[in-house]
Structure 1
Amino acid sequence: MFAKSKSFLFSMSKLFHHHHHQQWREMGAMAKVRLKWVKNKNLDHIIDTETDLKAACILKDAIKRSPTGFLTAKSVADWQKLLGLTVPVLRFLRRYPTLFHEFPHARYASLPCFKLTETALMLDSQEEIIHQSHESDTVERLCRLLMMMRTRTVSLRSLHSLKFDLGLPDNYEKTLVMRYPDHFCFVKASNGNPCLKLVTWRDEFAFSALQKRNERDAVTGEDGLYREFKRGQSALTFAISFPRGYGAQKKVKAWMDEFQKLPYISPYEDASNIDPESDLMEKRAVGVLHELLSLTIHKKTKRNYLRSMRGELNIPHKFTRLFTRYPGIFYLSLKCKTTTVILKEGYRRGKLVDPHPLTRLRDKFYHVMRTGFLYRARGVGMVSKEELLLDKVDDEGPEEEGSEEEEIVEGSELEEDSEDE
């Protein structure tokens, strides 16, 4: 259905840019509106819980990769920053006895060692099943990420940072990539850094999450906007969920109405012909960030992970302002000494709207972690094997804190050029 979308949307962008360039440049409302940062406690809570979850998953994979089947406290002592933890790694490992079994080293009795418990191994085997059964979905997401890049390449360093967010298997370079030589290949950048490159453009993947959502609405009769878009008569609009107090402001409403009326340029289109200072390019950049977050299974990632790909994605150097200018689309969390950006439409009342099977398993993983934390004195038998069956994985997710709790933080300015950990 989207086989011709690439040429169609490219010609559209040229048409709008040539005939309406001045119109997009003179929208005063888009240049003047500034919004205060609004704190969302539900979304911040997700960052809190998933920071520990990600650290535990990384340690689980590291123990599994270890030739000895365990890690020593000394070998992970300097991993605190890497894992994004606010406590020493040894203390973190001891918090979760349901996952990590502590025992003394065979030669050095005072050196603590950690191996995976039977519970952790069972969860890991279920994760392997999910990776295998959803491999085509993972390949598509990886292709689409590369298709958004200017040179169809991404550095392995940047990709490794996104591994958890994209739901890639731990050893994706040796397994997933190597099984698809007609999709991916390894190359070296001009600076010598290893990169992953898309071998062949995939027309069947060249449509965005926003296009797919509007197409579904058109098919179900909920929205005729997509049919008009395909005839070149309308622009596609983003789902907007304003923080409390913003949606009723006339100035904000007028600004967003003008923004939504701008032509939608697919993130898979060539945008080199668009004025980089124009409002049209700003909407295109918002679309790129929207699509990249849509590709992540938790609908969020760290701002610094995006910064490392800014040039390839062709988004502004100071792109954080896009998140703060469009708080109805994105949310910035400052929890855990880092800056995380969340796609708001991906969540409803603190839970994922459309959870990927891997996120559901990670919910179970977090349940096991929390159980171990609460009942450390009672050993590892607090989690039954029946609870861990794959078909028993429920939609637990992070605990909900009631209704959406939002708070305007006076005087809060998010530093554009500040660096996360």
Structure 2
Amino acid sequence: MATKLGRCVQQRRSFVNAKVKWVGDSYLDEAVEREKNLKQVLSLKDRIISSPSKSLPLSSLSALKPLINLPITAAAFCKKYRRVFATFHPSPRLPLRIRLTPQALTLHTEEEAIHLSPLHRKATVQRLAKFLMLTRAQCLPLNLIDRFKLDLGLPHDYITSLIPDFPEYFQVTEINDRFTGQKMLALELASWLNSLAVSELERREVNIDGSRVHIRYSMNFPKGYDLQKRVKDWVDQWQNLPYISPYENAFHLGHSSDQAEKWAVAVLHELLWLLVSKKTETENVLCLGDYLGFGIRFKKALVHHPGIFYMSHKIRTQTVVLREAYHKAFLIEKHPLMGMRHRYIYLMSKSERLKSRNYVHGETKKPESNQSL
């Protein structure tokens, strides 16, 4: 697995042999930090809702800590977000269990309604198909797709609730892991769909008469970001190179050529645009790059083009953000699922405020009962 991009004040740019000062973007950092622990809350919520009783024994949660990357013990995590999770005794003789609060259950029901709507299901299927079509991969291991599941806006049980209803698009198959040789499940595209093999940039850059215009990438830099003149000159020349669609196979290009890098940037741009959040953990991107055969190309593309991609180091990880999709700290085009996630974040923040109110002059007040939530 490729290592994460190293954080440093200065990055050596081998393509122009120049150094560029690293500058943080407080707005995009805020967009990332806002979702602290959201993925973990949603993962635990989905595990609870998937159980037959819609609850889990509190004693069983310790095994979930490494599985969903909890920052603290599962019991402490549930207590931290008491507006989302509630403990209860099913009977005096049975141990404590955990379930969703009424407020969280309401949000989940509304979220499920979005997933089940015909319009959303069609959009989700097409988004997943385009994800498989990138660089003509057409088949990806399920464990690799699961890395992007939340960011792609897939339902948590997409293998059973979505895939079987669209056999004209997908089929679950078994493949050999190229690294270990072991059998593994994968999702395969049933057939190539020319109608979907159009990138967001291609769709955007077409005149009314149908003619194509030269595609250039939108580049935005935070205040204080300074590019050396020779870097600016290189970027201008790079922008003028022909655009190659991410749905084409351009591995024949010289590995270290500028044109090959422009194609790698096209793949990364389209990948991030497909995500409802327009961002994902850098490790996800690098793992996908390794599997697709990009290797170091993805890493170089992210480092060489800070005007297109921003690397945030918030919330205990590294996140790559598509700059053009955001205005300051907010998505320009908000997907309905992102609206739901902001409501989960609000419920999580109410838990934090509740905890703060319960602490007065250094003494902890008796917490509110979960039964009343």
Fold match by TM threshold 0.5: yes
Equivalent residue in structure 2 for 1:147, among 133, 146, 149? 133
Q: What is the CA-CA distance between 1:336 and the residue it aligns to? A: 2.5
The 5-angstrom pairing of residues 369-380 of structure 1 reads 369-376=348-355, 377=367
Q: What is the CA-CA distance between 1:83 and the residue it aligns to? A: 3.0
Q: What is the CA-CA distance between 1:347 and the residue it aligns to? A: 1.0
Equivalent residue in structure 2 for 1:339, among 284, 293, 318? 318
* Aligned residues of 1:372 and 1:380 also touching (Cα < 8 A): no
Structure 2 equivalent of residue 410 of structure 1: none
The 5-angstrom pairing of residues 29-108 of structure 1 reads 30-104=15-89, 106=91
Structure 1 equivalent of residue 155 of structure 2: 169
Q: Does 1:296 align with 2:296?
A: no
The 5-angstrom pairing of residues 302-381 of structure 1 reads 302-317=281-296, 319-376=298-355, 377=367
Q: Does 1:118 align with 2:102?
A: yes
Q: What is the CA-CA distance between 1:99 and the residue it aligns to? A: 1.4
Structure 1 equivalent of residue 142 of structure 2: 156
Structure 1 equivalent of residue 363 of structure 2: none
Give the 3-state SS of the residue equivalent to 1:160 in structure 2: helix
Task: Output the CA distance in 2 between the equivalents of 1:29 and 1:244.
Answer: 24
* Aligned residues of 2:217 and 2:308 also touching (Cα < 8 A): yes
Equivalent residue in structure 2 for 1:138, among 124, 134, 154? 124
Task: Output the CA distance in 1 between the equivalents of 2:334 and 2:255.
Answer: 35
Extract unaligned runs of 5+ from structure 1: 1-27, 384-421
Equivalent residue in structure 1 for 2:168, among 153, 164, 182? 182
Structure 2 equivalent of residue 244 of structure 1: 223
Q: Does 1:279 align with 2:265?
A: no
Q: What is the CA-CA distance between 1:265 and the residue it aligns to? A: 0.5
Task: Output the CA distance in 2 between the equivalents of 1:74 and 1:302.
Answer: 30
* Aligned residues of 2:264 and 2:297 also touching (Cα < 8 A): no
- Higher alpha-carbon deviation: 133-142 or 237-246: 237-246
Task: Output the CA distance in 2 between the equivalents of 1:46 and 1:85.
Answer: 20
- Higher alpha-carbon deviation: 44-53 or 273-282: 44-53
- Aligned residues between the structures: 343
Task: Output the CA distance in 1 between the equivalents of 2:308 and 2:371.
Answer: 43
Task: Output the CA distance in 2 between the equivalents of 1:289 and 1:57.
Answer: 26
Change (3 A) 1:287 1:257: same
Please, what TM-score do these two structures have when normalized by structure 1? 0.75
Give the 3-state SS of the residue equivalent to 1:298 in structure 2: coil
* Aligned residues of 2:86 and 2:371 also touching (Cα < 8 A): no
Structure 2 equivalent of residue 270 of structure 1: 249
Q: Does 1:199 align with 2:190?
A: yes
Change (3 A) 1:343 1:270: same
In structure 1, give the amino acid aligned to 2:278.
K
Q: What is the CA-CA distance between 1:74 and the residue it aligns to? A: 2.6
Q: What is the CA-CA distance between 1:277 and the residue it aligns to? A: 2.1
Please, what TM-score do these two structures have when normalized by structure 2? 0.85
Q: What is the CA-CA distance between 1:43 and the residue it aligns to? A: 1.9
Change (3 A) 1:381 1:344: farther
* Aligned residues of 2:23 and 2:224 also touching (Cα < 8 A): no
Give the 3-state SS of the residue equivalent to 1:244 in structure 2: coil
Extract unaligned runs of 5+ from structure 2: 1-12, 178-182, 356-366
Q: What is the CA-CA distance between 1:98 and the residue it aligns to? A: 1.8
- Higher alpha-carbon deviation: 87-96 or 326-335: 87-96
Q: What is the CA-CA distance between 1:107 and the residue it aligns to? A: 6.7
* Aligned residues of 2:48 and 2:56 also touching (Cα < 8 A): yes
Equivalent residue in structure 1 for 2:200, among 182, 205, 209? 209
Give the 3-state SS of the residue equivalent to 2:165 in structure 1: coil
Q: What is the CA-CA distance between 1:363 and the residue it aligns to? A: 0.8
Give the 3-state SS of the residue equivalent to 2:263 in structure 1: helix
Change (3 A) 1:320 1:277: closer
Task: Output the CA distance in 2 between the equivalents of 1:260 and 1:322.
Answer: 13
In structure 2, give the amino acid aligned to 1:239.
S
The CA deviation string for residues 217-236 of structure 1, in whole angstroms up to 9 with x for no partner, is x44xxxx9x9454xxxx4x1
Task: Output the CA distance in 2 between the equivalents of 1:336 and 1:161.
Answer: 17
* Aligned residues of 1:300 and 1:341 also touching (Cα < 8 A): yes
* Aligned residues of 1:30 and 1:258 also touching (Cα < 8 A): no
The CA deviation string for residues 150-204 of structure 1, in whole angstroms up to 9 with x for no partner, is 4410100011111111000111001211000010001111231110000111111
Task: Output the CA distance in 2 between the equivalents of 1:381 and 1:196.
Answer: 42
